[in-house]
Structure formats: C-alpha cells, structure tokens
Structure 1
Amino acid sequence: MKLLVIWNGGSGRSSQIERLRLELAEHPTAWLELDRDVDLSAEITDFIDSGGETVVAAGGDGTVHAVVNHLMQIDSKSRPSMGIVPLGTANDFSGTLRIPNEIDLAAKTLFSRESVPVDVIRIRGDGIERYYSNVAAGGNCVRVSEELTDDVKARWGAFCYLRGAVGVLADMQTYRLFADVDGETFEQLDSWAVLIANGRTNAGHIEVAPHASPVDGLFDVVIIRDGDLIDMVEIVSGNLLGNFLECEQVIFRKAKRIRLRSEPPMRFTLDGELIEKEPIEFEVIPSAIRMFVGSDFKR
C-alpha cells in the first residue's frame, strides 16, 4: 500500500515525526510537510494519479481538518482512504476513532484492518462551503478559542482549553437563535453556545457529545441556553460528571441537517478553523471518507 503522510511541524508532538518515519520505513511512503506554500490539493491529486491509496494526517485535529477538506474536493469514486497518526495537542477525532496515541500502535492501524466509511459534515453559508469531521463549536466557544495563545497551549497542553474558558465564563454573551433541526423549529431562543458534533470530544477530550458516532449518518446537536451563574455551574459540573445533556439548559437532538441564524451572528470554529461569517446550514455527508480506525472502535 502506497502512503502519503501529510505532517504539521507546528503540531504539539511533531518532534515524534522521526519515530513515525522509522515505523513506516518498510512501506512505500511519500512525505509532505504542511506550510503556506504547499498546494495540498495538487499534491494529493498527483499522489492519486501515481497510484497512491492512503493519505495519512500526522498531526492534530487541525491537520486532520485540512486533509478532510482537500479529500472532499475529490470525486468519491477516486477518493483515497485516510489514516490518522495523532501528533497534536488534543487529538480529539482520533480519540473518537479509538486510534492509539502511541506512534507505533497508531501506525499499525494503517495496515491491521479494513478501513471504515466515516461521515463528514458540510457547512454552507454566504460565500462559505467547508467540511469537518469532528465538532463545530459556536457562540462563546469561539471566544474560548481566541483566548488560546501559543504560550497557553505550550504551558497547559490539552488542559489549555479549560484555562482559556476562565475569562469567558465570567462574561458570557447571549445569542438570540433561530434553528430548524430536521423540521423541528426553535425560535427566539436565547443561547450561550451551539455544538454540532460528529465526534464525541472537543477542546482537549472534553466530552461534549457522548452519544455521537461518526458512522451513523447523523450528527449530534447540542444547544446550550443562556441562564445565570447557577445554571452555568450545573452545566460545567454536569459535563465533568458525564451527564450534562440532562441539564434543563441543554437541548439535545440527533439530525441530518440544521439551518440556523442568530443575533448577533454566531461564529463557529470547525476543528480549530475559525469561520468569521455565520454558517447557515450544516448537513451530514454519510460514509464520505474511508478511514482506518483503532481495533476497539465500534461501528
């Protein structure tokens, strides 16, 4: 099997790339480091034309996100399979796929079993069409992401997301939301945040969608209504205890499509990518990319 490994020198564990090179030394492998000068679409197309079979994202969720978006530009009939070797700070989506963090074990997933068709979510809006595989987080979640400097990430690792939330929790912004979730309408709903999840965890293995599955043809919608300090404490403690979906302030649905708008406009981060314009529609693309998963991943 011919591999193209796309790796990110800025990922949290990129120093382990040499270990991965050793693990793949016996396999025909091309290596491509991500930077602004790389035409990723052209490189992947050339790889396919030369008989390549599997594209590997060696990095964190941002690297996975970049690879997914470029693979989705390729016709589904010729789209290669995808593998992930988690070299990032959080590695949330690889965790959902049960891919081990250890480099040697993650590399073995590329050869140990058949790939699995995995769902991808497409977003559309005014001048927007993007894809993501894990979680879109909107509202105050974006403000948390903006608190994360490189220094905070380096000091706190996966816990940097909790560190970034400290300042935001004291000054939550309210969004007046309209949403159509597979025909069910919510109007004039005051909310703090919206999460549309294909994977189970976000922001450093915080379980935001415990029932999510990237192979069920659905995504999980989590709308967090606004409230007071007591409501906030209940939501945060419920999240830590694994039962926050049962909080009165949380609306949870499984769906194939959601259309939404809000006042003020709600920005989203898609696996780390900030979308400045307000997305209008999210839609699941079932079985979009075949991916290699861990041995204990359950379909």
Structure 2
Amino acid sequence: MTQSVDKLQILWNPKAGPQERNAASLAQIKSEHGEQVCVHVTDSEEHSAQLTKQLIEQGARRIAAAGGDGVINVVADAILRANRPDVTLAVLPSGTGNDYARSLGLPLSPVEVMSSAITDSPATLDVFELQGNPDLSRFGVNMLAGGNTGEYTRQLTDEVKQQWGAFCFLRGAFGVLQNLEVFPLELQFDDGPPLQVNALNLFVANGRCAGAGLPVAPNALLNDGWLDVVVVLEGTAVQLAQLALTYVVGDPREHELIVARRVRRLTVRSEKTMAWAVDGQEFSASELTATIHPARLPVIVGPTNPAVTAQA
C-alpha cells in the first residue's frame, strides 16, 4: 500500500449512507483536494481496522474516517489501540446518523469538512473504554446505548423525521410504548454502592447525540473528563409519553423516570443479556464497565462547538 505520510489518509466506506450522494462527494473531494489526500476504499469493518493499523505503522499522522458512526468507531478504536497520541482523527460525515460529527459541531457534509480536516489543529478529546463479558474490549468516542434503543431508532424512518421535524423524538417514543422490554440492572457509579433499577434504556454519553441527532445528553462535553449516564426507568405509557415530551420542551434530567449521573466509571450488571451499541457497533453483554480516558485522542472539531470547552 503506497501512500504519502504527509497527506490526509481517507478511509472511505462506499456502503455507508446515501451511496449516490457519497460517490459524488468523493469525486468532488478528489477533484478539489487530490494533491493533499490519499483515498483508501474499505469493504468491511475489519478491513477499515486493518488499513488504519497499516497506515499508522507506515507513518501516517492524520487519518479521516468517511462513513457513519460505526466506521468512525472502528478507525478511532484502531488508532487508540496503536497507542499513538500523535495520530489525529478527522471525521468526514457520510453515514445515516452522523452523531459523533454532530457532537463535534461539524457540517454534515464530507465536502464541507475537507479543508479543516486537512489543515486545522486538533482538540485532544476524551474517549471511553469498555470491558465486559464475553470477551468485550473496545473503545468508544461518542455514545454507549443499551436496552430498547434499537427498537426505538427503527421507528424513526426518514418519513417520520420529515413529517415531525424536531418532534420526531416524541413520535418515535409513541411508536414503541407498547413493546418495551424491562431490564433489571445493578448499576455502580464509580466506587459508590450498587443501585438496583428496572430500566428501559441506558445511555453512557461522551458526546451529546444518538439516534441521528437525538439530544440524549445535551450538556455533555467531549473534553471534561466525565461520562454522562442517563437511565430511563420503567414507567406507565402516560409517564413515558410525558418523558418524551420533556426531551423536546424541557429538561429530561428532572423527570421522575430519569436517573442521571456524571461518572468516571460505570459498571452495569444485568440479570439477562442485553443488546448494546457503542457508536453504532452492536454487541450483547450481561456485564460491562465503561471507563473514561481524558484527553486521549486528537480530533478535528467544528469551528464553534458548545460540546468542546476551549483548550489552551
């Protein structure tokens, strides 16, 4: 694999997001920035991870993940496992959800991000590490979600988003109120005593958004050294409808069905195996621990970004 280490190395997933639009974006990027970039087309997540590792070994210092949150997670995980704090991650949002890009304050267009991806200095951001059973070991950059979140996001079709706009969160919640599974959980926040809850959803947020822009943790910061934990408890249909509305017009942390904490480490134990997703990467586990790693990954961020505090 021949490449210049001084160029921006782009790992492009052609299957992510709207393929025709992304193909046009790639053609425009090659036309406008061809001398400054090397494009590597990937055909699987394993291929993306392997290419990232090879690029780092060959001396690359700036790698861009072009695709959805899943591809970004794969590339970020590979950079972090290489333990190379001199390698910068750039994000070219071309997936469906683009939640990490939203948390970074980036334009949701790979073409519009290119100039900053090539030339801007990065901010050093937090990441989190997951350990659990069976054989779970992975880094995350934006959001860990467990419980009924997969069923909820399946309700948010493009038609629902277009018709309901910002209120699609409310509409999507209504769609799953009758089909929610309850998960008895034991939660341990840092070194505190275990807390027993019956949960519908659980979010561990480094960034602010999940599910294509839903403000799960609207006050989370990407470089404050904390994880924002949001637990949605079991409740009646009426209570859950009120909670969904609170997400649109109020502060959900004040709702009776919400447990909200800021932690450096969270351990979750479930009586049954739960479905989880970290930055869109799906897996199952009955026990896991999420631990914050402050100031671990250099990342290109948007010019005005409320989710990143100023760095000296």
Matches of 2:246 and 2:45, distance apart in 1: 44
Q: Which residue of 1 aligns with 2:251?
A: 243
Q: Normalising by structure 2, report the TM-score.
A: 0.85
Alignment of 1:148-163 (within 5 A): none
Q: Structure 1 70/223 Cα, relative in aligned 2: closer, same or farther at 3 Å?
A: same
Could you tell me how far 1:112 is from its partner in structure 2? 4.4
Could you tell me how far 1:133 is from its partner in structure 2? 0.9
Comparing 31-40 and 131-140, the one that deviates more: 31-40
State percent identity of aligned pairs: 25
Q: Structure 1 166/35 Cα, relative in aligned 2: closer, same or farther at 3 Å?
A: farther
Q: Specify the SS of the correspondent of 1:70.
A: helix
Matches of 2:161 and 2:29, distance apart in 1: 21
Q: Specify the SS of the correspondent of 2:244.
A: helix
Q: Which of the numbers 114, 130, 133 marks the counterpart of 1:107? A: 114
Question: What's the Cα RMSD here?
Answer: 2.4
Native 8 Å contact 1:144 1:161 kept in 2: no
Which amino acid counterpart does residue 123 of structure 2 have in structure 1? V
Gaps of 5+ in 1: none
Q: Which residue of 2 aligns with 1:291?
A: 299
Listed one character per residue, the Cα deviations across residues 117-173 of structure 1 (whole Å, up to 9, x for unaligned) are 11111111121101111111111113335x47xxx8676679898876554321211
1:91 to 2:98 alignment: yes
Matches of 1:190 and 1:73, distance apart in 2: 35
Q: Which residue of 2 aligns with 1:21?
A: 30
Gaps of 5+ in 2: 1-5
Alignment of 1:218-229 (within 5 A): 218-229=226-237
Q: Normalising by structure 1, report the TM-score.
A: 0.89
1:6 to 2:14 alignment: no
Matches of 1:76 and 1:25, distance apart in 2: 26
Comparing 239-248 and 54-63, the one that deviates more: 239-248
Q: Structure 1 174/82 Cα, relative in aligned 2: closer, same or farther at 3 Å?
A: same
Q: How many aligned positions are there?
A: 293
Which amino acid counterpart does residue 144 of structure 1 have in structure 2? Y
Could you tell me how far 1:255 is from its partner in structure 2? 0.7
Matches of 1:165 and 1:111, distance apart in 2: 40
Native 8 Å contact 1:23 1:104 kept in 2: no
Q: Specify the SS of the correspondent of 1:259.
A: strand
Listed one character per residue, the Cα deviations across residues 19-54 of structure 1 (whole Å, up to 9, x for unaligned) are 222232231x22122213964344223323433210
Could you tell me how far 1:271 is from its partner in structure 2? 1.6
Matches of 2:94 and 2:169, distance apart in 1: 17
Could you tell me how far 1:104 is from its partner in structure 2? 3.5
Q: Which of the numbers 274, 281, 301 marks the counterpart of 1:266? A: 274
Q: Which of the numbers 100, 116, 120 marks the counterpart of 2:127? A: 120
Native 8 Å contact 1:267 1:279 kept in 2: no
Native 8 Å contact 2:169 2:248 kept in 1: no
Could you tell me how far 1:8 is from its partner in structure 2? 1.1
Q: Structure 1 192/230 Cα, relative in aligned 2: closer, same or farther at 3 Å?
A: same
Comparing 258-267 and 165-174, the one that deviates more: 165-174
Native 8 Å contact 1:115 1:291 kept in 2: yes
Q: Which residue of 1 aligns with 2:3?
A: none
Q: Which residue of 2 aligns with 1:81?
A: 88
Listed one character per residue, the Cα deviations across residues 70-89 of structure 1 (whole Å, up to 9, x for unaligned) are 11210235x51110111111
Q: Which residue of 1 aligns with 2:150?
A: 142
Listed one character per residue, the Cα deviations across residues 46-68 of structure 1 (whole Å, up to 9, x for unaligned) are 32343321010111211111111
Q: Specify the SS of the correspondent of 1:232.
A: helix
Native 8 Å contact 1:201 1:209 kept in 2: yes
